[in-house]
Amino acid sequence: MPSIDFVMNDVISFIGDDVIIGHNTSFDIRFLNAGFNTELGNQYMDTMQFARKLFPELKHHRLSDLTAYLGLSNNEHRAIADSIATKELYDSIKDTMKKRGVEIQGLWIKSTHGGKGIDIKSIQPTEVEIDEDNFFYNRHVVFSGKLEKMIRQDAIQIVVNLGGILDNSVTKTTNYLILGNNDYSPILKGEKSSKHRKAEKLKLDGQDIEIIDESTYYDLLES
C-alpha cells in the first residue's frame, strides 16, 4: 500500500477546487487535513445531514442504513463501493428534494431556539440519581449554533441531569462540541463558527474532543 506522502499530491490535484460530496464528510475532511498536514478549503456537502432532514423516520442514517432503505447499491464498506453508494445516495437526495419541492434553504429553516443569555453555571441537576455509565457523565460539553428541535436551555438541562459539565467555550478540557442542526446551513458553504474551528484544531493536535451534530446528540440520548 502506498504511503500518504506518495499519493498526497495526486489526491490534492485530483480534488482541485471541486465541491467534495461524501457521507459524514467532516470526518473525512479532518482525516485528510491531518494526513496531508494541510487545510483543504473546498466547499463540501454531507449526504448524512441531508438524509437526516429528508428521512427523519429512520433511527440511524449510516450509509448502509440508507442504501438498504432506498434500495441502492450494497454498501460493502470498501472505497469504491462506498463511493458508488454515496453517489447514488446523492442522486436520490436530489430526486427526493425535487419531488417534494424542497430547496436547501427549506431544510435548514432558521430557528429561534438559540441559547444566548443562558447562565449555564446556574443550571443544576433535577434528577436525584445519575447513571454514571451514560455517555455524558463527567464529560465537558459545549453547544454551538441554534438548535432545530429543542430549546437550548432544555438541551443543557438534559446534559446536566446526566452528570455532564457545561462550558461556554471550547478549551483543552472540552470532550464534546454539539453543533445545532441549523449550523449546517453555513457549514455546507464552507463556513464554520469559531467554536467549530477551535475544536477541529484541538482534535488535530491530538486532543480528546468529538464534534457531533444535533441529530447525533438525540441518538446518544436514546442509546
Q: How many whole angstroms separate alpha carbon 169 and alpha carbon 198?
A: 10
Say which residues have a Cβ less than 8 Å from residue 56's Cβ, sequence separation at least 6. Answer: none
pLDDT at 45: 84
What domains, with CATH codes, occur in the chain?
4-107 (3.30.420.10), 120-222 (3.40.50.10190)
Q: Pull the grid cell for residue 203.
A: 482534535
Mean pLDDT by 10 residues, the chain (223 residues): 86 90 81 82 83 84 90 79 92 92 65 55 75 87 85 87 90 92 56 86 91 86 73
pLDDT at 201: 92
pLDDT at 116: 54
Interior angle at CA 119, CA 118 and CA 120, nearest 5:
95
Q: How many whole angstroms separate alpha carbon 136 and alpha carbon 217?
A: 10
Burial 28-64 (b: 16+ CB within 10 A, else e): ebeebbeebeeebeeebbbbbbbbbbbbeeeeebebe
pLDDT at 192: 78
pLDDT at 122: 74
Collapsed DSSP state (helix, strand, coil) of residue 163: coil
pLDDT at 177: 95
